[in-house]
Amino acid sequence: MAEHVEVSEPEAAGPEGPAVSAAVMADAHVTHNVVVPTVEQPLAPEVDAEPITQPGAEAPPMGRARRRDRTVAGDRWIARVLRGGAVVSGGMFVVSLGLEALPQSENVHVAIDLLRKGAASMLLVTPVARLAVAGTLLGLKGEWRYTLIAAGVLGLLAIAVSTGIPT
Amino acid sequence: MVAGGLAGSLGAMLGIGGGIVLVPALVLLFGIPVEDAVPASLMCVVANSCAAAAGYVHNHLSDIRLGLTLELSTVLGAIFGGLVAAMVAPAMVAVVFGLFTFYVALQMLLLRAPRQEPATLDDYSPTNYPLGISGSFVAGGLSALLGVGGGPLKVPLMSYGMRVPFKVASATSNLMIGVTGAASVAAYALRGHLKLALVSPLVVGVLGGAYVGSLLMPKVPTPVLKKLFALVLLVVASQMLWKGGAGLWPNMLK
């Protein structure tokens, strides 16, 4: 059974009040209106908590479901990269702030400096890694156009940073 | 940290990064010089983008393909803007951008019968790619020329110009701003303008705020988000008109 999840869109509801359904954005032209959360890959709690809006909907064909699962898995990898970068970098910044409360010494200063530089570097690398992961995953799905676009963006950014062009 | 939290939640909900809140707060409330506040604010935009976009991508609220496509033209525009920065008068560009933003904000606030959003958040496919790509090029150029993030321009562009649902536009903008923000911060860091002692508490606050904002955004009704966005646009317009005016009036009075 295809499970649809609701996202608040009151403005969008027509006179008949159509059931607001899945927030499947990333793969809009591949599969519309279908999210098939599996036990192994649950959606985020706030999405899982939303009601089923079309319980009678037909199950998608097998090939389509597989593509859907791959898309969901791909998005999860991108989300993991972003979340991992944010959490690790945020944690390092928090530890560096905590170290400031300790009695100041040369070692503490060095540790704070190293932690902050590491955290800042991690934060700056994260969006770039996300871009690389997104391009690679879309390439693996055969959407080479987006891989080329991601490579183009990375190349242009590298040129801009290395030549000092302010962006 | 509190300022970072506020900026993070607002930026995450609206897809604008939060620099619009942070730079004035840092300069006016904490007396931090603009040349230190801008890189710190850009770092917070990157943090905001990572934290908020993680949730949006996980919930399939960001359109990754659209984001990639518009990112390319944004980066091209930013490089073009950086190259021609010495040849154009930033004050004049700021006034034009301020007037345009003012017009968009008023339209969002006053329009009685706004465009009907798609019935479901997945029931759309972006239209008018030429407009989106050229608009993103302009947004990238303006961000390099004026130091404003592309969010205030890209969200209305996707929402009104490309018929993308407002929340998807906001989430996609959130995803995109991190990349250009990271390049800008890297340029500042290479020149030694990034003050990590200032950045640390801000980023911690922004990460928390962005997490809260990304949880709130799917639950907040779209009309409320649009009104909030319009108010932020009015602030951006005022800042741009002020910035442009400060550059133009002395020349006109001479």
Cβ <8 Å between A161 and B183: yes
| B62: contact with A, CB 8 A cutoff | yes
Please tell me the predicted confidence (pLDDT) of residue A82. 92
Q: Is the ipTM of this complex over 0.90?
A: no
A60, A2 in Cβ contact below 8 A? yes
Q: Please name the member of B61, B72, B197 whose beta carbon is closest to the beta carbon of A23.
A: B61
| B212: contact with A, CB 8 A cutoff | no
| B75: contact with A, CB 8 A cutoff | yes
Q: Structure tokens of B137?
A: 């090029």
- The mean pLDDT of chain B is 82
Residue in the structure block whose two tokens are 């972003």 = A82
Residue B229 has pLDDT above 80, yes or no: yes
Q: Residue B163: left if φ>0, alpha if ψ -120 to 50, beta else—which one?
A: left
Q: Please name the member of A25, A76, A128 whose beta carbon is closest to the beta carbon of B122.
A: A25
CA distance A102 to chain B (A): 16
| B145: contact with A, CB 8 A cutoff | no
Burial B46-68 (b: 16+ CB within 10 A, else e): bbbbbbbbbbbbbbbbbbbbbbb
The angle subtended at Cα A49 by Cα A47 and Cα A54, nearest 5°, is: 80
CB atoms within 10 A of CB B32: 17
CA distance B133 to chain A (A): 13
Cβ <8 Å between A167 and B75: yes
- By CB atoms closer than 10 A (0-12, 13-18, 19+), residue B146 is buried
Residue B251 has pLDDT above 80, yes or no: no
Cβ <8 Å between B218 and A23: yes
Residue in the structure block whose two tokens are 């904002």 = B213
Cβ <8 Å between B79 and A94: no
- Taking the C-alpha atoms of residue B44 and residue B62, their distance in angstroms, rounded to an integer, is 20
Residue B248 has pLDDT above 70, yes or no: no
Please tell me the predicted confidence (pLDDT) of residue A148. 94
Chain B contact set for A21 (CB, 8 A): 120-123
| B147: contact with A, CB 8 A cutoff | no
* % of residues, chain B, pLDDT over 70: 90
More confident site: A130 or B17:
A130
- Taking the C-alpha atoms of residue A97 and residue B152, their distance in angstroms, rounded to an integer, is 32
Burial B154-182 (b: 16+ CB within 10 A, else e): bbbbbbbbbbbbbbbbbbbbbbbbbbbbb
Nearest Cα neighbor of B55 from A113, A43, A5 is A43
The angle subtended at Cα B25 by Cα B19 and Cα A161, nearest 5°, is: 35
pLDDT in single tens digits along all 167 residues of chain A: 444 444 444 444 444 443 333 344 334 444 443 444 444 444 444 444 444 444 444 445 555 566 566 666 778 889 999 999 999 999 999 999 999 888 888 888 999 999 999 999 999 999 999 999 999 999 988 889 999 999 999 999 888 888 777 66
pTM of the model: 0.76
B45, B17 in Cβ contact below 8 A? yes
- By CB atoms closer than 10 A (0-12, 13-18, 19+), residue B243 is buried
| B251: contact with A, CB 8 A cutoff | no
- Taking the C-alpha atoms of residue B154 and residue B157, their distance in angstroms, rounded to an integer, is 5
Chain A contact set for B13 (CB, 8 A): none
User: B82-115: per-residue pLDDT in tens?
Assistant: 787 777 777 777 787 788 888 888 877 776 555 6
CA distance B82 to chain A (A): 5
A94, B65 in Cβ contact below 8 A? no
Residue in the structure block whose two tokens are 């030429």 = B130
Cβ <8 Å between A12 and B43: no
- Taking the C-alpha atoms of residue B182 and residue A121, their distance in angstroms, rounded to an integer, is 10
Cβ <8 Å between B183 and A167: yes
Please tell me the predicted confidence (pLDDT) of residue B147. 67
CA distance A42 to chain B (A): 10
| B201: contact with A, CB 8 A cutoff | yes
- Taking the C-alpha atoms of residue B72 and residue A153, their distance in angstroms, rounded to an integer, is 5
Q: Which residues contact B235 (CB under 8 A, 6 or more apart)?
A: B20
Please tell me the predicted confidence (pLDDT) of residue B141. 83
- Taking the C-alpha atoms of residue B12 and residue B243, their distance in angstroms, rounded to an integer, is 25
CB atoms within 10 A of CB A84: 15
Cβ <8 Å between B82 and A47: no
Q: Which of A31-35, A58-62, B47-51, B140-144 has the lowest mean pLDDT?
A: A31-35
B176, B71 in Cβ contact below 8 A? yes
Q: Report the run of H or E that residue A162 belongs to, with start and end.
A: helix A144-163
Interface test with B, best of A4, A25, A146 (most B CBs within 10 A): A25
Average pLDDT over residues B114-139: 76
Q: Please name the member of B46, B78, B117 whose beta carbon is closest to the beta carbon of A127.
A: B46
* A3: three-class secondary structure by DSSP: strand
The angle subtended at Cα B214 by Cα B208 and Cα B216, nearest 5°, is: 105
Q: Please name the member of B54, B63, B82 whose beta carbon is closest to the beta carbon of A165.
A: B82
